[in-house]
Structure 1
């Protein structure tokens, strides 16, 4: 009898093919997880492998940035590429066989399975400090991935009174045999998924060291907690988490708006995906630079120029704004078409969360709560504005902060999530429109009778 692997995948690699059929679902390599993690070195290698998964094009290497941007594309960006999966997302004509929705789901659950295996193998690690750090890293990775999954594959927090709308399946044990992989699981509620995300990230923040090199540390977990609480409109907790990151003194704004995207692990970066010219998300059919860049460099064109920045959005920037003059440009593809300069080097690291975002979260939360924890909203907002060469705003409003988020964090994967949490529409689509939610992959629903599909698919 043929076994169908549902929800979780034990595969280590996913084959990529042509533009309109890029997902090859045949596992290229698999492992017996029971025998793979037998030493402390094996456990740490598994964690390193999970970080590698985070940088894959299905996750932060491309899709956890690009899909949220395309879902909120109106008056912002235009997709001009040939990849059918992305075109469906941009046009809200997504099919339940959409390759991008499918590969993101599979890769996320593969990485979650890896860290679940780590958590169940920590007894192999004798060094108490290392054991604590590896547990923190595993819970950090699991927490951020469930956060990304529930935001993409479920209705926004607050869409129902008690957040009982279907979220995603919570799988909290390792799948190490084909029999386990063939077991079915229902979708947990959005409330249950958020509870798990917060538990994982909170525990990670207590387990991880203040500084863990290029890997996740205490402040990476706290920064993601600030994002999670903000997505829930829990401003008091978002404020506390963001303030802890800022007050740590571990981070500072870079002097220029381009520095975080031209240099590795800058003082502003709280967590970023480590890449180089030999090991990156892709240079032709995947990767942020592949899709966002349209750069003519020394007679060679870099990037496909698939994501065009719409002129009306460009014109919203103050003409003196350095983010306008230094991070937006006319590309080689088309006449007078703008592109973002944030993703312009195939081998560059990918900043996932930065201090500028923490300052804007603290400013917004303080404004909504009528407080001045850590600093005044004006001080935090103007730190970001003045870095961009703009005049300060003496008495900012929440709308000022939200506008600054659009300018500062554009093209970093937050677009649809900000629109949803602030209950704004994108074009004719309301914040809670099911068309702004990705489908559960058809192959998963077909294999699992407990897995309920999202409306419209």
Structure 2
């Protein structure tokens, strides 16, 4: 994290505590029960809960971008991303699927450890206001991790406290509706307590507006169609419930629509809620150059969808930045950008390159978060750019989506938001924007930011769009027909093996 830095001792205590049983719902250890002895321990405990965000943007790349019509990632040698991209039913043991479950429940464990200790030993904190804020931060983060999980897996075990080993083998999956109950309650509490902004070293912590933005996304995900599966959509029609949350962020005056698209992703434009990146409602913060700690503090996501051959070839970089093979941007996405659209050059590398072995590669790849003048010197895991998890432009476009679903507002409001985005992109204005056009604009605006698969879920047109895309980008049939069961991922095999019979595998896998 950039501002919220864990102490080495706290990180070691909490990371060792939650890594012992990653093949189960995280359990308790005596270590966490004896750690909380002074006020700073609670601050460090919450910071450890933030640290579980570290791989979040990489997960979005692997499970949202690669799954979607933004990527055609069929490899020469079968890689972990291939079965994600081609809708293989044989995903339960896939490394990316395993990582998502384990990392998010790892974060939930850390949140529960803090919340349990605040409940029993909170008086140690000294300040009721600080104790309440730390509780609100932990509940925001627990909601964040559960929302990530429910959009990927559907039904989940609901764990709101640290479990014993015996308990962890008896908590089965709850309904999606019950998972959402915990998420919503956590975020409503967070909104009631969290400050609107921070100063000094606390900049980067979750604010009231972070929680409002996340809760709006939750209501909108719930409002999406069910597709006949137990996935994130409940067809709940909560567009008018989401809208006031979005409006509160917009009306706060704390965030700004950046008129320069490239500047949003600039390494010199990092601080949220300050003189820097005011597009960032909530971001995952990284710091490079901390000796011996790059895996914990620096970022690797800038190169996740860029090929190693680009770094080792024209850039003469030998630190293995980049994926093992190219993971190309789909032709369908590349061709969807108008000639004048400035977002294409920011988002997609199309110039081609010659690899270190002399091979020529002309397929495009994502590079929105890459600045080749900022390649870290020590480790490929040590890039120093924050990842914007909730972006102000997204808040605006989510508002337009709510209005198009019947929430309070007008067509003029929708058109005004979309044309603000198009104007920044160098495009001419449009009128009478429809939902299909809005999602099409979102595809280009947020490409390489991990939102595409969730947008498709919410659109109601996921199956139609994905199967039409297969015919365009995959004429040889490497990608299997997309059916409703593949809207969510399977329960990881490690979880099924840990307690046989406890979980039911999602249909289709």
TM-score when normalising by structure 2: 0.75
Structure 1 residue 100 and structure 2 residue 96: aligned? Answer: yes
Quote the offset at 1:280 in angstroms.
5.5
Is contact 1:10-1:113 (8 Å) kept?
A: no
Is contact 1:439-1:453 (8 Å) kept?
A: yes
Closer, same or farther: CA 256–179 of 1 in aligned 2, 3 Å:
same
Quote the offset at 1:391 in angstroms.
1.6
Higher mean displacement: 266-275 or 342-351: 342-351
Closer, same or farther: CA 327–442 of 1 in aligned 2, 3 Å:
closer
User: Quick one: distance in 1 between partners of 2:241 and 2:263?
Assistant: 30
Structure 1 residue 151 and structure 2 residue 151: aligned? Answer: yes
Structure 1 residue 186 and structure 2 residue 172: aligned? Answer: yes
Q: Which of 313, 327, 351 is the matching residue for 1:307?
A: 327
Quote the offset at 1:63 in angstroms.
0.9
User: Quick one: distance in 1 between partners of 2:128 and 2:76?
Assistant: 50
Quote the offset at 1:39 in angstroms.
2.1
Quote the offset at 1:311 in angstroms.
2.3
Is contact 1:65-1:412 (8 Å) kept?
A: yes
Aligned residue number for residue 441 of structure 1: 492
Closer, same or farther: CA 349–370 of 1 in aligned 2, 3 Å:
closer
Within a 5 Å distance, the mapping from 1:286-325 to structure 2 comes to: 287-294=300-307, 295=310, 298-300=315-317, 302-304=321-323, 306-325=326-345
User: Quick one: distance in 1 between partners of 2:502 and 2:30?
Assistant: 27
Quote the offset at 1:348 in angstroms.
1.2
Question: Match of 1:188, SS?
Answer: coil
Quote the offset at 1:83 in angstroms.
7.2
User: Quick one: distance in 2 between partners of 1:11 and 1:452?
Assistant: 27
Cα shift readout 1:337-359 (whole Å, capped 9, x = no counterpart): 21222221532111111000011
Aligned residue number for residue 235 of structure 2: none
Structure 1 residue 339 and structure 2 residue 365: aligned? Answer: yes
User: Quick one: distance in 1 between partners of 2:97 and 2:259?
Assistant: 37
Closer, same or farther: CA 282–215 of 1 in aligned 2, 3 Å:
closer
User: Quick one: distance in 2 between partners of 1:308 and 1:259?
Assistant: 24
Within a 5 Å distance, the mapping from 1:344-423 to structure 2 comes to: 344=370, 346-369=383-406, 371-372=408-409, 376-423=413-460
Question: Match of 1:389, SS?
Answer: coil
Structure 1 residue 168 and structure 2 residue 156: aligned? Answer: yes
Question: Match of 1:186, SS?
Answer: coil
Quote the offset at 1:80 in angstroms.
3.9
Q: Which of 253, 262, 267 is the matching residue for 1:249?
A: 253
Is contact 2:64-2:451 (8 Å) kept?
A: yes
Is contact 1:272-1:350 (8 Å) kept?
A: yes
Q: Higher helix proportion, which one?
A: 2
Matched positions, count = 420
Closer, same or farther: CA 380–395 of 1 in aligned 2, 3 Å:
same
Within a 5 Å distance, the mapping from 1:57-96 to structure 2 comes to: 57=55, 60-72=56-68, 74=69, 76-78=71-73, 80=75, 84-93=79-88, 94-96=90-92
User: Quick one: distance in 2 between partners of 1:87 and 1:264?
Assistant: 33
Quote the offset at 1:275 in angstroms.
1.0
Quote the offset at 1:174 in angstroms.
1.4
Aligned residue number for residue 283 of structure 2: 272
Structure 1 residue 229 and structure 2 residue 219: aligned? Answer: yes
Closer, same or farther: CA 171–375 of 1 in aligned 2, 3 Å:
farther
User: Quick one: distance in 2 between partners of 1:269 and 1:50?
Assistant: 20
Quote the offset at 1:85 in angstroms.
2.8
User: Quick one: distance in 2 between partners of 1:206 and 1:353?
Assistant: 19
Closer, same or farther: CA 153–390 of 1 in aligned 2, 3 Å:
same
- How large is the RMSD of aligned CA atoms in angstroms? 3.0
Is contact 1:209-1:218 (8 Å) kept?
A: yes
User: Quick one: distance in 2 between partners of 1:95 and 1:173?
Assistant: 29
Question: Match of 1:353, SS?
Answer: strand
User: Quick one: distance in 1 between partners of 2:349 and 2:19?
Assistant: 36
Closer, same or farther: CA 187–312 of 1 in aligned 2, 3 Å:
same
Is contact 1:292-1:343 (8 Å) kept?
A: no
Aligned residue number for residue 329 of structure 1: 349
Structure 1 residue 451 and structure 2 residue 477: aligned? Answer: no
Cα shift readout 1:319-375 (whole Å, capped 9, x = no counterpart): 111101332222536532212222215321111110000110111211221632798
Quote the offset at 1:231 in angstroms.
1.1
Cα shift readout 1:114-155 (whole Å, capped 9, x = no counterpart): 11111121213221221121111101101011111111012x
Question: Match of 2:183, SS?
Answer: helix
Quote the offset at 1:403 in angstroms.
1.3
User: Quick one: distance in 2 between partners of 1:65 and 1:75?
Assistant: 10
TM-score when normalising by structure 1: 0.84
Quote the offset at 1:11 in angstroms.
4.2
Closer, same or farther: CA 349–82 of 1 in aligned 2, 3 Å:
farther
Closer, same or farther: CA 382–81 of 1 in aligned 2, 3 Å:
farther
Structure 1 residue 214 and structure 2 residue 204: aligned? Answer: yes
Is contact 2:157-2:173 (8 Å) kept?
A: yes
Closer, same or farther: CA 311–434 of 1 in aligned 2, 3 Å:
same
Cα shift readout 1:206-228 (whole Å, capped 9, x = no counterpart): 11100131111110111111111
Aligned residue number for residue 161 of structure 1: none
Aligned residue number for residue 3 of structure 2: none
